[in-house]
């Protein structure tokens, strides 16, 4: 039985929430994002603003130049949007029990088998949109198709307030005229490389052999693009995908050279990361320092600890040591931040109580090491493994 995947995408979400909450802003160009006159970008803008060619991720200075003087500029109110998002996700749970939230304003639903209960895909989609509108007074664009890729492209195909259903036998007709950049993995850098070969559409892309694509894009990306061009993609919905890292970073209003400011900022970021990690009951084995110099040169430095941590001081100390190990002082810094990553699936360990019989699973790296050790023991005998195998001495 073939699957049916639905993608739900709220229209201009942040801007729509602001216009909903402030009726006097409706029908006017509105930008949610950085403060005009400062560094930053447009997070989202209303459809009235999009008519001036403004879009997400556009530098705010450029947007200001394009937009009329009566444009409304507001800073994001993330708590507000998160609250509305939770309401929407709750609505989606009434449509199907299999909901995957992919971002604050987007979700995939597995609606396979719902046709017998509800009706054809068009009815499932229309019902979803109606329930969202009733609950939060916002519009969503909905796409339904045989897998995630097609569902996502279908929701993009008719915005705002659209509903597009792509049946399996029309997938190729649907994809063929689309530009290369609709495919996952073909962005601003990679797509032009293929366009230089004279390829413009997904239909064109199918002329390239798998070998050619793998050679040009790498084994993994080449394979993915080859499959996507034929409408083949993941058709599973993953209700509870957990995040794999926690980070905090900030861009300074003006570039910073004062080491004391950098140190204080890093301390703040480490506190934020530690707080979030403890809140989620996670500990990370890897601390990563991120730094961006003038004009826009980004570097990362990371260290794997001997024990996972969620401790502010330890995160800060590690990040600061990573900073000090480089000859970076006196270079103007645009951005600095820190993150942690590397935890096993079975964390949080803290949730285990004396009465809980489950044991935490080892960190994936540890699990792989153990498996390797077992394999080596099988091959070479019990006595071959010493302590410290595969462990490198600290630098």
Partner DNA sequence: TCTGGGGTCCTAGGACCC
Binding positions for DNA, 212-251, rule CB under 7 A? 218-221, 243-251
Among 34, 72, 114, 310, contact with DNA (rule: CB under 7 A) = 34
Nearest distance from residue 92's CB to DNA, in Å?
15
Stretch that binds DNA, among 15-23, 168-176, 290-298, 346-354 (CB under 7 A): 290-298
- Where helices occur in the chain by DSSP H, the ranges are 13-21, 47-50, 60-66, 78-95, 114-117, 121-136, 148-157, 171-175, 190-195, 202-205, 210-217, 219-229, 259-279, 312-324, 364-380
Nearest distance from residue 198's CB to DNA, in Å?
18
Nearer to DNA, 53 or 120 (CB): 53
Stretch that binds DNA, among 19-27, 118-126, 127-135, 384-392 (CB under 7 A): 384-392
Which token pair is 215?
């050679």
Nearest distance from residue 132's CB to DNA, in Å?
16
| Count of residues engaged in binding DNA, rule: CB under 7 A | 72
Among 8, 67, 72, 286, contact with DNA (rule: CB under 7 A) = 286
Identified catalytic residue from 18, 106, 195, 200: 106
Nearer to DNA, 114 or 136 (CB): 136
> Which of 350, 185, 329, 316 has the alpha carbon at shortest distance from 248?
316
Asked whether 203 and 177 are in contact (CB, 8 A), the reply is yes
296 makes contact with DNA (CB under 7 A): yes
Nearer to DNA, 108 or 174 (CB): 108
Which token pair is 352?
């285990």
Asked whether 203 and 215 are in contact (CB, 8 A), the reply is no
Asked whether 47 and 90 are in contact (CB, 8 A), the reply is no
DSSP letter at 184 equals: T
**Per-residue DSSP letters for 16-48?**
HHHHHH-GGGTTS-EEEESPTTSS-BEEEE-HH
106 is catalytic: yes
Among 301, 331, 346, 360, contact with DNA (rule: CB under 7 A) = 301
Segment 304 to 343, residues that bind DNA, using CB under 7 A? 304, 334-335, 337, 339, 341
Say how far apart CA 140 and CA 126 lie, in whole Å. 10
Nearer to DNA, 121 or 308 (CB): 308
Binding characters for DNA, 100-139, by CB under 7 A (x = yes): --xxxxx---------------------------------
Nearest distance from residue 303's CB to DNA, in Å?
5
Among 6, 136, 191, 202, contact with DNA (rule: CB under 7 A) = 191
Segment 39 to 68, residues that bind DNA, using CB under 7 A? 39-41, 43, 56-57, 59, 61-62, 65
Q: Is the dihedral of CA 186, 191, 193, 196 positive or negative?
A: positive
Say how far apart CA 330 and CA 249 lie, in whole Å. 20
382 makes contact with DNA (CB under 7 A): no
Element (H, E) at 348: none
Asked whether 343 and 282 are in contact (CB, 8 A), the reply is yes
- What is the set of active-site residues? 106
């Amino acid at each position: 039985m073939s699957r049916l995947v639905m993608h739900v995408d709220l229209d201009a979400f942040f801007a729509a929430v602001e216009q909903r909450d402030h009726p006097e802003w409706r029908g006017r160009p509105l930008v949610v994002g950085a403060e005009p006159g400062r560094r930053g970008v447009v997070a989202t803008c209303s459809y009235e603003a999009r008519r001036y060619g403004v879009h997400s991720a556009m530098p705010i200075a450029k947007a200001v130049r394009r937009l009329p003087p009566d444009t409304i500029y507001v800073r994001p109110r993330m708590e507000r949007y998160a609250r509305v998002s939770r309401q929407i996700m709750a609505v989606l749970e009434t449509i199907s029990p299999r909901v995957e939230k992919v971002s604050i304003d987007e979700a995939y639903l597995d609606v396979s088998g719902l046709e017998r209960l509800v009706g054809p895909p068009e009815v499932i989609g229309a019902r979803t949109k109606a329930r969202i509108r009733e609950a939060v007074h916002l519009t969503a664009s909905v796409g339904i198709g045989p897998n995630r890729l097609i569902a996502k492209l279908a929701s993009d195909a008719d915005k705002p307030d659209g509903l597009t259903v792509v049946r399996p036998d029309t997938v190729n007709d649907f994809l063929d005229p689309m530009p290369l950049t609709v495919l996952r993995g073909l962005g601003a850098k990679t797509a032009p490389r293929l366009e230089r070969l004279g390829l413009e559409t997904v239909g064109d892309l199918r002329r390239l052999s798998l070998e050619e694509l793998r050679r040009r894009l790498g084994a993994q990306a080449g394979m993915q693009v080859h499959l996507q061009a034929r409408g083949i993609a993941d058709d599973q919905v993953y209700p509870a995908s957990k995040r794999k890292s926690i980070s905090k970073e900030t861009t300074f209003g003006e570039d910073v050279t004062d080491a004391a400011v950098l140190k204080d900022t890093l301390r703040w970021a480490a506190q934020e990361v530690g707080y979030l990690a403890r809140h989620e009951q996670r500990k990370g084995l890897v601390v990563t320092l991120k730094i961006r110099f003038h004009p826009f040169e980004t570097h990362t430095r990371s260290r794997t600890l001997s024990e996972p941590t969620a401790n502010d001081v330890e995160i800060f100390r590690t990040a600061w040591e990573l900073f000090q190990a480089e000859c970076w002082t006196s270079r103007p810094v645009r951005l600095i931040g820190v993150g942690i990553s590397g935890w096993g699936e079975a964390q949080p360990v803290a949730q285990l109580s004396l009465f809980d019989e489950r044991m935490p699973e080892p960190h994936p790296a540890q699990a792989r090491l153990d498996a390797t050790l077992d394999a080596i023991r099988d091959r070479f005998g019990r006595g071959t493994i010493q302590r410290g195998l595969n462990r490198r001495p600290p630098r």
